[in-house]
A and B are shown apart, each in its own frame.
Chain A
């Protein structure tokens, strides 16, 4: 199946821990994104990478560090987790950097992070 996949689907952890979420797309897209969706369903971009290069970093705390080993993968590492980090994190990909009319973003299934 061609798709955007994320692991894990659920992540429950204690405050202060470090965790990673992995994302892979096999659509051949050049651009990948991380979004955070809070309890009010507000979907906010965190990072985007185009061909492994960071192009957007939206004032995200530096506890969050994205890593793109190749253009098909974009992982998210979070240090010193806080209660406010609890949310659903979506990975997405598109052919070009977002914003063009034809530029559909394909989303992964999401990772529900719960920090206790």
Chain B
């Protein structure tokens, strides 16, 4: 079992709709959870982090965390073509000395 699992996609969403990206993790001791966005040929950049159960909103982005289910998700409201990218879920290791990345979900927003 991979430590951080994501559906590789591609996930195709019409412009203006809500894109929902999901991630599961195996280390119950994980405490911090991150979503990075990576455009093709570019480096990853942090969009959001969350460490408490529940929802965290930042503009059009909402991160959701359920530690009991070992599940974290990212919702993107009013999707724009510029949101088309690969989204990497990352989870802190319980030793808190590193983060583990999932393989990413490729999101495509169609006009």
Contact = CB atoms under 8 A, between A and B. Distances in A.
Interface of A: 35, 40-45, 48, 55-56, 90, 97-105, 107-110
23 contacts: A35-B101, A40-B8, A41-B103, A42-B101, A43-B44, A43-B88, A45-B101, A48-B98, A55-B97, A97-B96, A97-B97, A98-B92, A98-B96, A99-B96, A99-B99, A100-B32, A101-B32, A101-B50, A103-B32, A105-B99, A107-B43, A107-B45, A108-B43
Contacts of B60: none
Interface of B: 8, 31-32, 34, 38, 42-46, 49-51, 86, 88, 92-93, 95-101, 103-104
A100 B96 contact: yes
A90 B43 contact: yes
Contacts of B38: 41
A2 to B, nearest CB: 14
Contacts of B31: 99-101
Contacts of A103: 32
Nearest to B38: A41
Contacts of B96: 97-100
A35 to B, nearest CB: 8
